[in-house]
Structure 1
Amino acid sequence: MQAHVGGRRRLPLLVQAGQGRQHVHPERLGLAELDVAEWPGTNTLGVSMNRVDFAPGGTNPPHIHPRATEIGIVMKGELLVGILGSLDSGNKLYFRVVRAGETFLIPCGLMHFQFNVGKTEATMVVSFNSQNPSIVFVPLTLFGSNPPIPTPVLTRALRVEAGVVELLKSKFSAGF
């Protein structure tokens, strides 16, 4: 018999190595997501985690987690971790290189990124205080939305010519 809470199974409590959604992105990173969909035992506990492997020069592009704070540890290599402040902070960029064994914290809803500044692979493990933190990739959201944001809106917002917007849209029309 399995308990159901919040519409989801509550078991299993354990996961196996290699379990979770696996992704490889053109930004030279690999991602293994482990959330309530793969680990039903976390249902209603408000936690999830990811492992991200970066090739040299790999980037986790600017993104937002609208439903979670993120805490991470760099397991190997070194990553430039950047957080963009809000308008009332003057859009300040806070950043530092985080090395193996060091941690970082990203407050809920703030745009941030990670970039492998080393010459070798880098790995980070991050945890979220939500069973479904969600993710909004800023470039994909602006230039790959469905239906597309009208070009005149983006030309005015970004202060560029329509050709630049169309070029950027063509880069993201198929997603990441």
Structure 2
Amino acid sequence: MIFRILSILSLLISLSSANIVFDYCVGDLSLPPGPTGYSCKDPTTVTVDDFVYSGLRDAGNTANIFKFGANTAYAPQFPGLNGMGISMVRADLGVGGVVPLHSHRVAELAILIEGTLIAGFVDTNNTAYYKTLTKGDMMIFPPTLFHFQANIGSTPALAYVSFASENPGNQIFTTGLFRNTLPSELIEKVTLLDLAQVQKLKKIFGGSN
């Protein structure tokens, strides 16, 4: 009986401490990242400043075609996040601003601080889920699905977004299509847009061919 109890306690202890080798792994930005993140900075050179980031104090630059700006706190900007599986973004939308259809590798959780947004996503069954959000509302966007936010209010909007990764990736549908070197004729075929429209959008977003 005692042996069984000791075995169970040993198993519980081993499970609770599994894979915890270091307290932290501050990213060494002098080395290239790999599939699992950055190599660890020498612990003897780590300071409290590695665990503090002030980059979200400032508003994102909304002087662009989407009237949207984002300041990111990912591992490349905030190396203390390396290996932590979490990150944040400050999203600013001017009046009429939009975060165009985009996707990430992981789930996104957004909380609206100021303004009024309509936000939503489209699932793999092509079902659209969208709703008007006001101050204090939160919305979750499942991983990999295309989603968006649009400022439908009369004032600028501010949201903070968290991710289940220190480097979640970001692929914007519009720039993915039109800021590349794919031949315009090929994009015409895969999108059913006419060639003139494809070339116009490539010119706007910086694509070629």
- Give the TM-score taking structure 2 as reference length: 0.72
Q: Distance in 2 between matches of 1:72 and 1:168?
A: 29
Residue 60 (1) aligns with residue 60 (2): no
Q: Distance in 1 between matches of 2:84 and 2:202?
A: 39
Summarize deviations over 1:100-130 as a string: whole Å, max 9, x none: 1010001110001100000011110000001
Secondary structure of the 1:134 match is coil
Summarize deviations over 1:139-169 as a string: whole Å, max 9, x none: 1110111xx2122221122223211211111
Which residue is 1:159 aligned to?
Answer: 192
Contact 1:151/1:162, CA 8 A, preserved across alignment: yes
Give unpaired runs (5+ residues) of structure 2: 1-23, 28-37
Which residue is 1:100 aligned to?
Answer: 135
Residue 79 (1) aligns with residue 117 (2): yes
Which residue is 1:128 aligned to?
Answer: 163
Contact 2:55/2:73, CA 8 A, preserved across alignment: no
Residue 32 (1) aligns with residue 37 (2): no
15-24 or 113-122, larger mean C-alpha shift? 15-24
Instruction: From the two aligned structures, give the one with the greater strand fraction.
Output: 1
Larger radius of gyration: 2
Q: Distance in 2 between matches of 1:93 and 1:70?
A: 17
Secondary structure of the 1:170 match is helix
Aligned length: 167
CA RMSD in angstroms, aligned pairs only: 2.3
132-141 or 148-157, larger mean C-alpha shift? 148-157
Secondary structure of the 2:204 match is helix
Q: Distance in 1 between matches of 2:40 and 2:159?
A: 29
Moved over 4 A (4+): 2-6, 17-25
Secondary structure of the 1:15 match is coil
Percent identical across equivalent pairs? 27
Residue type at the aligned position of 1:128: F
